[in-house]
């Protein structure tokens, strides 16, 4: 005689039909690039959803302001350049275990490939690819990523759309997406998921700086649904961090307001 199903206990074979699946209550989440833009919005939303955070950014003052405004308590802020080994080590030591990683740190610069020198290409790869991957490697090696954790990397629409003057930037983000897919396969037995979120043009300080240099307003205005803000991307990141996405891994969620279609035409 079969036993009755206890609907209060989630199972690998049964969907979680509850808003609780979107909660991050009781989880420890590491958010990089949290001093502004998408990273700051992600940290704020994670805290509102109940997570305890370790946040990182290069700007001490801005990071402290984000930290002070977070909902909840017992959050930790560690300022430092993620491309430096000592910063990655400090983040590894900040918690005995992480249930999630939101990798939002990154830089961008528009340089036509014929003018892109070695220093530019190395910087794009160092910050956008090597830093998050070396951080992840260290956390995995030291067993700081708990079973069932979710890893989310912010890449970019340009990783696939490949607009002009973005060879270094687009290549670094494409490399991160490829590494994320491999990572997801390697860690599947521990039910550690790895995904990317690829934004289109988002109203951040980084985009404002690019726009002022390159006159990008016309390109940004191609977005059919209008301009995105950091909170739009934070919602997608938190979805992938939560149990609501527990069967999603090895993928890239594009959040571009429909921009990918006109960009390719």
In a domain, 2, yes or no: no
Q: What is the distance, to the nearest Å, from the Cα of residue 216 to the centroid of all Cα atoms in its chain?
A: 24
Task: Provide the domain limits for residue 141.
Answer: 24-264
In a domain, 4, yes or no: no
Q: Which residue among 98, 129, 169, 201 is the active-site one?
A: 169
In a domain, 85, yes or no: yes
Using DSSP, state whether 43 is helix, strand or coil: helix
Q: How many domains does the chain have?
A: 1
> Sign of dihedral through CA atoms 137, 138, 142, 144?
negative
Q: Do 229 and 205 touch, CB atoms closer than 8 A?
A: no
Question: Tell me: the pLDDT tens digits for 122-172?
Answer: 999 999 999 999 999 999 999 999 999 999 999 999 898 877 888 999 999
In a domain, 9, yes or no: no
The rounded distance, in Å, linking the Cα atoms of 51 and 125 is: 30
Q: Do 14 and 243 touch, CB atoms closer than 8 A?
A: no
* CATH number of the CATH domain containing 253: 3.40.50.720
Q: Do 260 and 254 touch, CB atoms closer than 8 A?
A: yes
Tokens describing residue 227: 């301009």
Backbone angles phi, psi at 192, to 5 degrees: -90, 120
Please list, in sequence order, all residues whose beta carbon lies within 8 angstroms of the beta carbon of residue 52, skipping any fewer than 6 positions away: 26, 27, 28, 29, 72, 74, 75
In a domain, 167, yes or no: yes
Question: Tell me: the pLDDT tens digits for 22-48?
Answer: 999 999 999 999 999 999 999 999 999
Known catalytic residue: 169? yes
Question: What is the reported pTM?
Answer: 0.89
In a domain, 8, yes or no: no
In a domain, 3, yes or no: no
In a domain, 15, yes or no: no
């Amino acid at each position: 005689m079969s036993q009755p199903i206890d609907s209060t206990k989630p199972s690998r074979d049964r969907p979680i039909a509850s808003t609780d699946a979107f909660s991050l209550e009781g989880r420890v989440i590491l958010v990089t690039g949290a001093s502004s833009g998408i990273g700051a919005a992600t940290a704020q939303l994670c805290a509102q959803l109940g997570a305890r955070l370790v946040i990182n950014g290069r700007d001490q003052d801005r990071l402290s302001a984000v930290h002070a405004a977070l909902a909840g308590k017992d959050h930790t802020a560690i300022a430092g350049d993620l491309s430096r080994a000592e910063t990655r080590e400090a983040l590894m030591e900040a918690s005995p275990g992480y249930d999630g990683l939101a990798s939002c740190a990154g830089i961008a610069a528009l340089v036509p490939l014929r003018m892109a020198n070695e220093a530019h290409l190395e910087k794009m790869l160092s910050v956008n690819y090597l830093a998050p991957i070396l951080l992840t490697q260290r956390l995995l090696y030291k067993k700081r990523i708990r079973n069932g954790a979710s890893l989310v990397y912010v890449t970019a629409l340009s990783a696939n759309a490949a607009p002009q003057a973005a060879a270094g930037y687009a290549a670094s983000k494409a490399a991160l997406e490829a590494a994320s897919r491999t990572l997801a396969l390697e860690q599947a037995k521990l039910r550690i998921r790895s995904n990317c979120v690829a934004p289109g043009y988002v109203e951040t300080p980084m985009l404002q700086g690019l726009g002022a240099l390159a006159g990008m307003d016309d390109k940004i205005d191609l977005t059919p649904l209008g301009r995105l803000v950091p909170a739009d991307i934070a919602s997608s990141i938190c979805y992938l961090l939560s149990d609501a996405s527990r069967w999603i891994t090895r993928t890239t969620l594009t959040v571009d307001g429909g921009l990918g279609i006109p960009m390719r035409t």
